[in-house]
């Protein structure tokens, strides 16, 4: 089932070459919807994932430069109530993932081994 199509954007050409991943923890008992609404107001937000483990969210941001990243952190993210802890990871480059759909379809369509094949 196809749910949509995507576009491969040259982020450097549009002036947003820096990709930052920011895992976050939220304050216990906080209304997560309030945090999500606050994050959606940040124009630099490129993606957001709820996760398990030591963090609660991992956000992906596109920024122009380090100063823009600093402004995004200090002026936008730090003002969202309930966000407790941040860590910032700058991407050095992206490695294309294998084509998962092709792999899944190939495995589905591959002949299945039978007990007679093992003899």
The string over 30-57, giving b where at least 16 C-beta atoms fall within 10 Å of a residue's C-beta and e elsewhere, is eeeeebeebbeebebbbebeeeeeebbb
pLDDT in tens, 72-117: 999 999 999 999 999 999 999 887 777 877 888 888 877 776 666 6
pLDDT in tens, 18-76: 999 999 999 999 999 999 999 999 999 999 999 999 999 999 999 999 999 999 999 99
- Residue-level pLDDT at 119: 61
Total-model pTM: 0.78
- Residue-level pLDDT at 105: 81
- Residue-level pLDDT at 103: 81
**3 band by pLDDT with thresholds 50, 70 and 90:** confident
Structure tokens at 114: 């039978």
Structure tokens at 44: 């630099």
């Amino acid at each position: 089932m196809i749910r949509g199509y995507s576009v491969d954007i040259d982020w450097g050409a549009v002036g947003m070459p820096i990709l930052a991943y920011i895992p976050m923890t939220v304050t216990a008992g906080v209304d997560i919807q309030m945090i999500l609404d606050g994050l959606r107001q940040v124009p630099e937000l490129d993606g957001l994932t709820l996760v398990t483990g030591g963090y609660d969210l991992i956000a992906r941001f596109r920024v122009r430069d380090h100063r823009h990243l600093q402004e995004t952190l200090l002026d936008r993210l730090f003002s969202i109530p309930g966000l407790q802890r941040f860590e910032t990871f700058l991407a050095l480059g992206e490695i294309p993932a294998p084509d998962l759909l092709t792999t899944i379809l190939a495995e589905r369509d591959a002949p299945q081994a039978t007990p007679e094949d093992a003899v």
